[in-house]
Structure 1
Amino acid sequence: MTDAEDRRPQSERARSMYAHPAGGGTAVDTESSTTSEFTLPEGLAMGRPAVPESETTSEFALPDGLDTPPAPAPETEGSAFSLPSGFGLETLHAFTPATGLPAVDLVKDAPWQDRMRTVLRLPVAERPAPESAQRTADETGPAVPRVLDLTLRIGELLLAGGEGAEDVEAAMLSVCRSYGLDRCEPNVTFTLLSISHQPSLVDDPVTASRTVRRRGTDYTRLAAVFQLVDDLADPETVVSLEEAYRRLAEIRRNRHPYPGWALTLANGLLAGAASVLVGGGPLVFLCAALGAMLGDRLAWLCAGRGLPEFYQFTVAATPPAAIGIALTLANVDVRASAVITGGLFALLPGRALVAGVQDGLTGFYITAAARLLEVMYFFTGIVIGVLVVLYFGVKFGAPLNPDTALGTSQQPVVQILASMLLSLTFAVLLQQERSTVLMVTLNGGVAWSVYGAMHTVGGISPVASTAAAAGLVGLFGQLLSRYRFASALPYTTAAIGPLLPGSATYFGLLAIAQNEVDKGLLSLARAVSLAMAIAIGVNLGSEISRLFLRLPGAGSAAGRRAAKRTRGF
C-alpha cells in the first residue's frame, strides 16, 4: 500500500469498493480504479439504469422484473354481521358450529313432547334444521308474524290451563318448527310469553310477546290444544295457518263438558269422600258434602262480584268449619274434625303446587317462585277462613282437641273406594274429558293402596309413603300420556287428591287457634312436607319414565345432551 493510499479517507475507500463503474454498467479496468468482487462482469447489461449514489433504496424493494399486483379496492365500512366476500346466502347455514351439525336423531314416531324437549335443551348453534311439515296455501313459505302469533296464542292457552313452563316452551317450539321457522327462542314466565325468530345472521330478529291475563281450569281445552299441536307436528297431516286459527277459535269457544250444578255436586262428593278417608261415617260424609257445596256456592258468588281468588278461598273455607263447630256445640256424636278436614280437601291447591315444584325442578325458577307464591296466598286464605271459625268456636266452648289424631278405618275396601270417588270427583272439577276420567280414577285408587300398604301396614313414615305413591302416580300418568300423545296433567292431578295433607293442615290451624303456636307450626310444617313430597314424587315418576323410555334410535350422547337444562355435568 502506497503513502497516497494511506492518506486517503476511509469513507472514500469503502465507497469505492461497491461503486458502479462509469459508462452504464461497463467495468473500467485501470490500475487507478479499485473494483469490487460484486461488480457485474463486462458485457452484461443491466435491465435498468443503475441507481445513483445519492438515491437511497429500501432493502424491501421488489427485484427487477417483478410486476407489482394492483392494489385492492378499499372495502366499504359495514356491519360486523355482514357476510364475507364471495359467500352467498344460498350457501349460508347460520349458527352452524365448526364441527358440523350435531348427530341428534329426532325419531318421527316418538311423541312431539320428547322431540321438542331434545331440541329445546340444545343450544341454538347445535339444533338440527327443521323439516317443514306445514306450508301456506301459496307454497311460498310461512308468514313469520302470523306463525309467531299463532304460537303465542297456543302457549297462552297451555299456560293458563296449568301446564308446566317446559311443556309450554316445547309446544311453542314445535309449532314454529312445524311451519319451517328455524332459530326460534321461546321464553315462558308466569304471566308473560315471548318468542324470537332470527331468519339469518344478517337479518334483524322478529320478537313477539303475549300476556296471560286469566287462568282457568279446563283440561278438556288443554287436551284439544295438545291435539292441535300434535297435528301440526305430524308431517302427514296438512294444517294451514287459516285452519289452525279456526281450530284454535273453536277451542276457545268450547263450552265446559260439565254444567255448574255438576261441579257443585262433585265438590260435595269430594269432601265427603275425603272425610271417609280420615275415618268418618255416613253422617260425617253428608255434613262434609253439605259444607263443601255451600262453600262452593259462596265462592261462585264472590267470583261474580269480581273479588280476587284470595277472598274466594277464604269464604269457601268457612262453611265446612262452621258446620263442624255447630255439630260439636250441639253434642252430636260425630267427628267434627273429619267434617272440617273433608272440606279442606276440596280447597287445597294441589294442581298449582305440583306445577310450581315441577317448574323449579326443570330450571324455570322465576315461574316456579311465582306459582309457589300463588299457592301460599291460596293457602293463607284457607287458613284465615278456618281460623276465624275455629277462634269463635273455642270462645264459645267447643270441645276441640288438637292432639287427637285422625286415623283410617280398618276397612281397606271402603278406603280404596273412597279414594277412587275422590279422584273421580276431582277429575270432574278439573273439567277433564270423559274418556280420561276412568283412568285417573283407577290411578287414584292405586295411589291410595300404595300409601296404605306402606304407612298403615308397613309402618313407614307418611312423608316417604306419600312420595312413593305420588311417584307411581307420575309414572303411570306419563305412560298414559305417551300412549295417547297428550298432556300428563289429566292423568296425574286428580289422582293425587287422596294424598293431599288435609288433616295435618286442620290440626295445625286448630292448635294455633288455641294458642298452641308451637304445635300448630309443627303440624303445618308436616303438611308442607307432605305437599312437597307429593309434588316431587309426581315429577320424579315422570322423569323416570322419560329416562327408561328414551327416543328409539337416539344415542347415549344425544340423550346426555338432552338431559341438560340450565347447568349440570
Structure 2
Amino acid sequence: MSPDPEPVGSPAPGDRDIREITAIMSLSLRIGELLLSSGAGASDVSAAMRNVAWACGLRGFTADVMFTQLTMSQQSSPEEPALVQFRQVRYREVDYGDLTDVDHLIRALLAGTIDRVEATHLLNRISSTGHPRPRWSVTVALGVMGGGVGMVLGGNWLVVAVAAAAAMLVDALQRQMGRRRLPTFYQQVAGGLLATLIAVGVAATPADVSPSLVVSTSIVMLLAGVNFLGAVQDALTGFPVTAGARILEAFLATAGIAAGVSGGLKAADLLGVDLGPLHPGAYSTTHLPVMVLGGAIAAAAYSFSAYAPSRSLVPIAAVAAVAVAVYVGALNRDFGVAWSSALAALLLGLISYPVAARWRIPTLVVVAAGITPFLPGLSIYRGLSLLATDASAALLAMVTAAAIAIALSSGAILGEYVAQPIRREARRLESKLAGPRLVGPHTVRGVRGLRRRRATKRVADPAPDRGRGSEPPPSP
C-alpha cells in the first residue's frame, strides 16, 4: 500500500528544516542587534547569539560580530550550500530596560522554560514596545545627573542648580537636532557650545558661580553617551576591528565636544568675558559626604535616563557611592587622578557582578552608570582652556583625560574578570564550611549538583534501583 501523498501546498521536509534554521538565525541576529546597540561588547554579543542558536537546536553554525553588521551562517554538511544571514546595526539608542528584558529572555531560553516560538513573540513585544518613561522625565533626570556631578566636583548649591539647568537645555537641543537626523558629531559640537555659552552668561553676572564647573558638568553629561567600556572590552577580548570602530566613534564624539567648548571660549574672549581661573574642587575628607551623595545621585539619574528598571536605581546609587568614597580616599593619598579612577572602577567591577545578579539586571547597567561621576569632563575643559596660554599644560590635561577614560574602562573590566571566579569559589567555600543541617539541604544549587553527579554515575555505572529508604554508598 503506497503512503499517503503530501497535502497540496505543504512544505517538503527539507523546506521545513530550512525554515526552522532561518527562524533560529533570525532570532539570534535580532537579539545580537539589540545587545550591540545598547553598548554590549562584541564578545558578549557573539556569546549570546551562539547560546541562543544552540539552545534552539541549531548546529554547525558560525556567528560573527562587526560594529555595524552581524552575520550568521549554517552548513549542515560539506556537500550542502551554507545558509547565510546578515543584519545591519545602524540606529543606536541605549535602553537598559530592553537590555534587561532580553537578558531575561536569553536566560529563560537557555533554561528551557520557553521555546524558540515563545522567545520570538517575547522579542517582538520588547522591540515594539515604546519606552516606559516619558521623554520629559529623561531630560529632568539628565539635569539631576548634572547637579550630582557638580556636587562631586566640589561646587556649591548655586553651581549645582546652574549645572542642572544647563544639562537640561543641552539635552533639549540635542533632542531637536536628533529629530532632524543630524550626525552625532554636530550634536556634540552644539552641546559643548551651548554649555560654554551658558557659562559665559553666568560669568557676566555677579552670581558666585564657577563657570568652569558649569562647563565641566555639562561635558560629563555629553560624555555619558560615549561608551568606552565596549571599545576596551572588544580590544581585550580579541575583536580589534569592532574595538577600532568604537574608539573612532568615541573619538569623534569627544572631538565634537572639544570643538564646541573651544568655540564657546573664543566667543568669551571676543565678548571680553573672563571665565576666571579653573577651580577643580576641593577633594578632601571634609567634603566626602557631599561628594559621595553627588556620585550616588549622578549614577542613579543616568541609569534612570537610560530607562534602567526602577528596582535597580537604589543599588546603582549605593555602588557608585562606595566607588566615589574609594576614589576620594585614593586621591587624598596622592595616588593621582588616573590611578584613583582605576581603583574606583576596579571596585565598581567587583561589586557590580553580585549586585547585578541579586537584582536581576545585566552587569553592564551597573558598571556604565557607576562610572558616570568619574568621566573626565574637568580634564578636557582644563586642556581646552589652557590651549591658548600653555600648550604643554593643555597637552598634559588632554593626556590625563585619555588616561582616566582608559583607567575607568580597563579597571571595571578587570573587576568583572576577578569577580566571577571569586563568586564561584565563595559558593564552594560556603558549602564546605556550612554546619550540619537538621532539616533541608544546604542550598538549592547543591541539590542540583548532587542530582547531576548521581545522574552521571548512573549513566557510567548502571545498577538496579535501590529501595526507597536506601542510601548510596559513601564516597571514598
Q: Is 2:135 the counterpart of 1:242?
A: no
In 1: Cα distance, 2:202 partner to 2:243 partner:
41
Report how far residue 205 of structure 1 moved: 2.4
Q: Is 2:220 the counterpart of 1:345?
A: yes
Report how far residue 486 of structure 1 moved: 4.6
Residue among 127, 148, 168 paired with 1:252: 127
Change (3 A) 1:140 1:353: closer
In 1: Cα distance, 2:288 partner to 2:358 partner:
31
- After superposition, what is the alpha-carbon deviation per residue over 1:446-499, rounded to whole angstroms, capped at 9, x for unaligned? 11010011112x222121111011011112222233446652111111011111
Report how far residue 154 of structure 1 moved: 1.1
Other structure's SS at 2:131 match: coil
In 1: Cα distance, 2:179 partner to 2:18 partner:
46
User: Which one-letter code corresponds to 2:296 in the other structure?
Assistant: M
Report how far residue 248 of structure 1 moved: 1.0
Residue among 301, 313, 317 paired with 1:441: 317
Q: State the match for 2:405 in structure 1.
A: 531
User: Which one-letter code corresponds to 1:176 in the other structure?
Assistant: A
In 2: Cα distance, 1:485 partner to 1:205 partner:
38
Q: State the match for 2:229 in structure 1.
A: 354
Report how far residue 266 of structure 1 moved: 1.0
Residue among 179, 196, 218 paired with 1:321: 196
Q: State the match for 1:90 in structure 2.
A: none
In 2: Cα distance, 1:359 partner to 1:401 partner:
41
Residue among 264, 269, 273 paired with 2:144: 269
Change (3 A) 1:459 1:482: same
Question: Rg larger in 1 or in 2?
Answer: 1
Other structure's SS at 2:371 match: helix
In 2: Cα distance, 1:144 partner to 1:402 partner:
64
Q: Say whether the 8 Å CA contact 1:292–1:319 is kept in structure 2.
A: no
User: Which one-letter code corresponds to 1:319 in the other structure?
Assistant: L
RMSD: 2.2
Q: Is 2:269 the counterpart of 1:394?
A: yes
- After superposition, what is the alpha-carbon deviation per residue over 1:50-83, rounded to whole angstroms, capped at 9, x for unaligned? xxxxxxxxxxxxxxxxxxxxxxxxxxxxxxxxxx
- After superposition, what is the alpha-carbon deviation per residue over 1:295-337, rounded to whole angstroms, capped at 9, x for unaligned? 1111111111121111111112223211221222334322111
Other structure's SS at 1:354 match: helix
In 2: Cα distance, 1:179 partner to 1:254 partner:
25
In 1: Cα distance, 2:70 partner to 2:197 partner:
42
Report how far residue 355 of structure 1 moved: 1.0
TM-score for both structures, normalised by structure 1: 0.69
User: Which one-letter code corresponds to 1:451 in the other structure?
Assistant: Y
In 2: Cα distance, 1:481 partner to 1:282 partner:
33
Report how far residue 185 of structure 1 moved: 1.3
Q: Is 2:227 the counterpart of 1:335?
A: no
In 2: Cα distance, 1:238 partner to 1:405 partner:
53
Instruction: After superposing the two structures, state which structure 1 stretch, 404-413 or 345-354, moved more.
Output: 404-413
**1:368-407 paired onto structure 2 within 5 Å:** 368-401=243-276, 404-407=279-282
Q: Is 2:277 the counterpart of 1:415?
A: no
* Alignment gaps of 5+ in structure 2: 1-15, 429-448, 450-476
Specify which structure has the higher proportion of helix: 2
Residue among 278, 290, 296 paired with 2:171: 296
Other structure's SS at 2:207 match: coil
**1:136-175 paired onto structure 2 within 5 Å:** 143-175=20-52
Report how far residue 412 of structure 1 moved: 1.5
Q: State the match for 1:189 in structure 2.
A: 66
Report how far residue 149 of structure 1 moved: 1.1
Report how far residue 401 of structure 1 moved: 4.9
Q: Say whether the 8 Å CA contact 1:455–1:465 is kept in structure 2.
A: yes
Other structure's SS at 2:114 match: coil
Change (3 A) 1:502 1:420: same
Q: State the match for 1:496 in structure 2.
A: 371
In 2: Cα distance, 1:403 partner to 1:140 partner:
67
Change (3 A) 1:524 1:548: same
In 2: Cα distance, 1:478 partner to 1:364 partner:
23
Q: State the match for 2:155 in structure 1.
A: 280
User: Which one-letter code corresponds to 1:254 in the other structure?
Assistant: T
- After superposition, what is the alpha-carbon deviation per residue over 1:508-548, rounded to whole angstroms, capped at 9, x for unaligned? 11112x34332212111101101100000011001112343
In 2: Cα distance, 1:182 partner to 1:203 partner:
14
The size of the alignment, in residue pairs, is 413
**1:216-231 paired onto structure 2 within 5 Å:** 216-231=93-108
Change (3 A) 1:540 1:305: same
User: Which one-letter code corresponds to 1:535 in the other structure?
Assistant: S
Instruction: After superposing the two structures, state which structure 1 stretch, 503-512 or 477-486, moved more.
Output: 477-486
Q: State the match for 2:10 in structure 1.
A: none
Change (3 A) 1:238 1:498: closer
Residue among 69, 73, 80 paired with 1:203: 80
In 1: Cα distance, 2:18 partner to 2:421 partner:
37
Q: State the match for 1:544 in structure 2.
A: 418
Q: Say whether the 8 Å CA contact 1:394–1:400 is kept in structure 2.
A: no
Q: State the match for 1:566 in structure 2.
A: none
Report how far residue 350 of structure 1 moved: 5.9
Q: Say whether the 8 Å CA contact 1:221–1:254 is kept in structure 2.
A: no
Instruction: After superposing the two structures, state which structure 1 stretch, 201-210 or 214-223, moved more.
Output: 201-210
In 2: Cα distance, 1:486 partner to 1:285 partner:
30
Change (3 A) 1:361 1:248: same
Q: Say whether the 8 Å CA contact 1:349–1:378 is kept in structure 2.
A: no
Report how far residue 155 of structure 1 moved: 0.9
